[in-house]
Amino acid sequence: MSTEKAGYHHGNLRETLVRTALTLLEESGVEALSLRAAARGAGVSAMAPYRHFADKAALLAAVADQGYADLRDRLAAADTQADPRQALVEQGVAYVRFACERPALFRLMLGAPSAGAAPGPKAPAHQPPGPQPPGPKKTAGSGYDILSARVAGLVAEDRRDTAVVAAWSLVHGLACLAVDGRLHGMPGGMAAPEALARQVTSLFTAGLVAARPPSVSA
Amino acid sequence: MSTEKAGYHHGNLRETLVRTALTLLEESGVEALSLRAAARGAGVSAMAPYRHFADKAALLAAVADQGYADLRDRLAAADTQADPRQALVEQGVAYVRFACERPALFRLMLGAPSAGAAPGPKAPAHQPPGPQPPGPKKTAGSGYDILSARVAGLVAEDRRDTAVVAAWSLVHGLACLAVDGRLHGMPGGMAAPEALARQVTSLFTAGLVAARPPSVSA
DNA sequence: CGAGGATGTTTACAGTGTCAACAGAGAAGG
DNA sequence: CCTTCTCTGTTGACACTGTAAACATCCTCG
């Protein structure tokens, strides 16, 4: 009760703002998610959010954090299979399913970083493309750990890092293409993205286990 | 001379606008690319672009078309190797290299569709997530054909569609992750994205050729 | 030379992110 | 109890955006 819960003026505005912003995002799209609209939805004035968030990007980051938590939970929940190959497939399917079920959130989380502060009066305008991973740092990092552990069970150690990057790239790319409707013209693209994810990740993991360089097979 | 070339009032505004917008995009980022800024850079008034583009999204689409052409050329230029496996790797590297060299353009081309018309007075606000591939229709479709042909040389016909989707997903995902700086915390992520692309696509193609279900190997 | 259409300008409006100055509510201390 | 101070929220303003309507200009065609 002493931390930040019960009522000052509004109650707890911060949480209300995040929830309102998330609703706005998922029901009306990114372009409808403005700071003023969130404030309006929370029943406060346009400047009130600035008592809880430094700028629009900070609100968006808070919304994205919700998404990271949900995604991490889903990946963990999909990691029940004992066979690492099956587990990897299920994780990939869960990743793509998340993206398809919550496309706007997914894009906010893993799209272009800090696309929030746009048309202000003073625009610093550019950022060096180097050091800026404001996204799935620690939260989705756990998801990354889960993925990494599963890949470790499938490939030799010298190819592990490459395989992890490849696995993430595969499902992330499929998720992006599906979410952005880029698979519609393709031969296999008419299938449900989840089914596609299953096929694609199965193909990938099959290749992983089949292409062992050490002298074991044959 | 009768088509649209020599001078009316400005010369050919349309091309100037596209060029200005492209420069703005690549030198100052998406958030600096406004219709008014493009007009300003072209030396005309804010409303002049509307004689050549229906709205901001149309300008962005024209800019993206430049990118599709460049990407297609690069993919074609990378397709010189005789060995389909090597050719596939080179295509993937070229794709990732394009994304890393022109990140803003890449995101405009293959990011969220129609993210142009944002804060107008009347906002229709949402689009059903179904039929909307305004991106690499015909242009990058040629790139798709090149990719498809190469994959066809590596896998059996019943897995071909899946393999094509997987290949595109793999390089597209890697490109997105690299462009958005999402690989910096990863074990193998410190390497140059091009080197990563080579490793990842090599691993993938190796798996493709190794995991043949018909009774040929062994 | 006059009509018409293509092209560009001015003005205006609604909406946005954000700064500055102000107002109310709840706690701290006399 | 009253004062003061610090959160919290409000009002007003500014610079900027995309875009509609009305007007001006210039080229071309008849």
Write the CATH number for A177.
1.10.357.10
Write the CATH number for B26.
1.10.10
pLDDT 10s digits, A60-112 = 999 999 999 999 999 999 999 999 999 999 999 999 999 999 999 999 999 88
Write the CATH number for A37.
1.10.10.60
Say if A1 falls within a structural domain: no
Residue A40 belongs to domain spanning: 11-53
| A44 Cα to chain B: minimum distance (Å) | 21
For A36, the token pair is 């003023």
Query: What positions of strand C are covered by protein, i.e. any atom < 7 Å from a CB?
Result: 6-21, 24-26
pLDDT 10s digits, B96-122 = 999 999 999 999 999 988 754 444 343
Greatest mean pLDDT among A173-177, B6-10, B81-85, B212-216 lies in A173-177
Say if A120 falls within a structural domain: no
Q: What is the mean pLDDT of chain B?
A: 84
What single-letter amino acid sits at A66? Q
pLDDT 10s digits, A16-67 = 999 999 999 999 999 999 999 999 999 999 999 999 999 999 999 999 999 9
**Candidates A34, A105, A162, A169, partner chain B, best to mutate (most B CBs within 10 A):** A169
List, as ranges, residues 130-149 from A with C-beta within 8 Å of B: 130-133, 135-137, 141, 144
Say if B203 falls within a structural domain: yes
Give residue for tokens 């992006």. Answer: A176
Confidence at A213, pLDDT banded by 50, 70, 90: low
Q: Please check whether residues B48 and B101 belong to one and the same domain.
A: no
Say if B86 falls within a structural domain: yes
For residues B201 and B184, give the distance between their C-alpha atoms in angstroms, rounded to a whole number: 19
pLDDT of residue B1: 38
The pLDDT of residue B126 is above 80: no
Indicate the range of A106-115, A119-128, B42-51, B78-87 predicted with least confidence.
A119-128
List, as ranges, residues 151-180 from A with C-beta within 8 Å of B: 159-166, 168-177, 179-180
Rg (CA), chain A: 21
Q: Which residues of B117-152 are buried (b: 16+ CB within 10 A; e: fewer)?
A: eeeeeeeeeeeeeeeebebbeebbebbbebbbebbe
Q: Please check whether residues A81 and A32 belong to one and the same domain.
A: no
pLDDT of residue B184: 86
Q: Which residues of B39-59 are buried (b: 16+ CB within 10 A; e: fewer)?
A: beebebeeebbeebbeebbbb
For residues A134 and B180, give the distance between their C-alpha atoms in angstroms, rounded to a whole number: 10
pLDDT of residue A8: 53
State whether residue B99 is helix, strand or coil.
Answer: helix
Say if B193 falls within a structural domain: yes
For residues A186 and B182, give the distance between their C-alpha atoms in angstroms, rounded to a whole number: 28
Q: Which residues of A55-78 are buried (b: 16+ CB within 10 A; e: fewer)?
A: ebbbbbbbbbebbbebbbebbeeb
